[in-house]
Amino acid sequence: MTETESIAYDVVVLGAGPVGENVADRTRAAGLSTAIVESELVGGECSYWACMPSKALLRPVIARADARRVPGLSQAVQGPLDAAAVLAHRDEFTSHWKDDGQVAWLDGIGADLHRGQGRLSGTREVTVEGPDGERRVLTARHAVAVCTGTRAALPDLPGLAQVKPWTSREATSAQAVPGRLIVVGGGVVAVEMATAWQALGSQVTLLVRGKGVLPRMEPFAGELVTESLKEAGAEVRTGTSVTAVTREGPTVVALTDTGDRIETDEILFATGREPRTDDLGLDTVGLEPGSWLSVDDSLRVTGSTWLYAVGDVNHRALLTHQGKYQARIAGAAIAARASGVPILETDPWGAHTATADHAAVPQVVFTDPEAASVGLSLAEAEQAGHRVRAVDIDLSRIAGASLYGDGYRGQARMVVDITREILLGVTFVGPGVGELIHSATIAVAGEVPIGRLWHAVPSYPTVSEVWLRLLEAYRDA
């Protein structure tokens, strides 16, 4: 091991995923010297094992489903997907798991990259152990930002380690299509990967512990997605938990609490996420290793004046776009504090406070049909004590939806605070609705009065005309 080198920066960022990159971008733009530490690939989970590869796998699935609904085109797309071509295209989206382009971007903004495992080793101090054994101590004059994200959480099941199960990483990077695939879970990763691999040729069995999939969205979202998965040939079993797994040669055997024995070629556990904070030296600054990091709205760790936790690691909203939003807030807050600006007193635009994490978090599930939501569901709004009314519209009644072809199925709901007459939440389910959700996000985040939304005229014939029908239904109720 070489002699330890010490380098001082204004800001040190742990983790070079999209969140860490955005923190570094903002602090560098403010003129602060910035180091970024990464133990794997620059670009992080989203670029190589999550958002980008999963959507590359799903895009041909959804495009084929849309085409099959259009008269004059449906007969031309009845055949199977070219799985090899889909996987090759996915590999291009991940830059074949090479981060040269991302490293060049960091160089372009003037941030210094330190490869290796970074750990907190004291106040405003990070020690990096490089792959060659070199040790560097990075000191931060103003802030350290923890942007290390999450990893897949695996249950404590007998035989699991020997089986070598898939997690989201293996599900998005596999180089061959398994003949049979069990997917354990009912959340976003579970339904997206079940959708993708069933279409690519696997026989998928989805095992859901609860009553249905997508439990955090409106009930009709899970119902429509489940219906579509079954029509595609997947088997969906709800109220079912895996109790043990074994591998018998090339075959994985899953035992369930219902007494079933299910054989498969691979098994994917999509059963939640846990923070990547177990090996960060949190104990050196009085925090618990392996814990989620609690933060204020400027993303500063509770009780600290210099430590920030940004993105999934703070457990506020485990979504890439929310993490990048938080990163922009955190970068601005770090820069303001470094310049001595009292940020809460001189922040009329809210540039230093992550308020969207509380009430206006949007999400799209890229299944067929797509499910998209922002804000509170009806159940969440009622549980929070709001006086609300839910307004529902069958999307197949919208003229723009008919252009998608025969058999369009979808539903829309807006949850209205009837005291203030603003929207608390909106959910769309149906082909193509992912592109609708930003209009709903603006309405929810901006607390736009219902009376004013009436004058936001949707173009005809587009699916966005659902807004007119929702507002008419609310007015006429």
pLDDT, tens digit, for every residue of 177-214? 999 999 999 999 999 999 999 999 999 999 999 999 99
Q: Where are the domains of the chain?
A: 5-43+99-151+275-356, 160-271, 369-476
The tokens for 78 are: 């009845």
H or E stretch at 128: strand 125-129
Q: Do 369-476 and 5-43+99-151+275-356 fall under one CATH topology?
A: no
For strands 203-208 and 235-238, give the pairing.
parallel
Averaged pLDDT, 417-433: 97
pLDDT of residue 1: 42
In the chain, what percentage of residues exceed pLDDT 90? 93
Least Cα distance to 146 among 350, 265, 313 occurs for: 313
Q: Is the pLDDT of residue 144 over 60?
A: yes
- What's the CATH code, domain 160-271? 3.50.50.60
User: Tens of pLDDT along 84-121?
Assistant: 999 999 999 999 999 999 999 999 999 999 999 999 99
| Angstrom distance (rounded) from CA 273 to CA 209 | 16
pLDDT of residue 2: 55
The architecture that CATH gives domain 5-43+99-151+275-356 is 3-Layer(bba) Sandwich (3.50)
pLDDT of residue 406: 87
Q: Which residues are 182's β-sheet partners?
A: 205, 267
- What's the CATH code, domain 369-476? 3.30.390.30
Q: Is the pLDDT of residue 345 over 80?
A: no
User: Tens of pLDDT along 353-376?
Assistant: 898 998 899 999 999 999 999 999
Q: Is the pLDDT of residue 349 over 70?
A: no
Q: Is the pLDDT of residue 267 over 80?
A: yes
H or E stretch at 119: strand 117-122
Higher pLDDT, 133 or 338: 338
* Contacts for 228 with CB less than 8 Å, ≥ 6 apart: 195, 367, 368, 369
Residues 208, 213, 214: CA angle, nearest 5 degrees: 135
Higher pLDDT, 238 or 132: 238
Instruction: Evaluate whether 166 touches 54 at the Cβ level (below 8 Å).
Output: no
H helix intervals, 94-163: 100-109, 160-163
pLDDT of residue 347: 60
In the chain, what percentage of residues exceed pLDDT 70? 98
| Angstrom distance (rounded) from CA 140 to CA 412 | 49
Q: What is the mean pLDDT of the chain?
A: 96
The tokens for 373 are: 């939501």
Helix axes 188-200, 51-68, angle to 10 degrees: 60
pLDDT of residue 348: 56
Averaged pLDDT, 57-77: 96
- Say what the alpha-carbon torsion angle 299, 302, 305, 306 is, to the nearest 10 degrees: -50
pLDDT band at 346 (very low <50, low <70, confident <90, very high): low
- Say what the alpha-carbon torsion angle 304, 309, 314, 320 is, to the nearest 10 degrees: 160
pLDDT of residue 231: 97
Backbone dihedral angles phi then psi of residue 379, each to the nearest 5 degrees: -65, -40
Instruction: Evaluate whether 53 touches 94 at the Cβ level (below 8 Å).
Output: yes
* Contacts for 383 with CB less than 8 Å, ≥ 6 apart: none
Calculate the alpha carbon distances from 363 to 104, 214, 221 in Å: 30, 12, 12
Q: How many residues in total does the chain contain?
A: 477
Whole-angstrom Cα Rg for the chain: 24
Instruction: Evaluate whether 298 touches 328 at the Cβ level (below 8 Å).
Output: no
H helix intervals, 280-338: 320-338
| Angstrom distance (rounded) from CA 249 to CA 236 | 26
Q: How many CB atoms lie within 10 A of CB 203?
A: 16
| Angstrom distance (rounded) from CA 464 to CA 371 | 15
pLDDT band at 4 (very low <50, low <70, confident <90, very high): confident
The pTM of the full predicted model, rounded to 2 decimals, is 0.95
For residue 231, the number of C-alpha atoms closer than 13 Å in the C-beta half-sphere is 10
Dihedral sign, CA of 10, 351, 325, 306? positive
Q: Which residues are 412's β-sheet partners?
A: 393, 428
What is the maximum alpha-carbon separation in the chain? Answer: 75
> If you count DSSP H runs as helices and E runs as strands, how many of each does the chain have, helices first?
16, 21
User: Tens of pLDDT along 468-477?
Assistant: 999 999 999 8
Instruction: Evaluate whether 320 touches 46 at the Cβ level (below 8 Å).
Output: yes
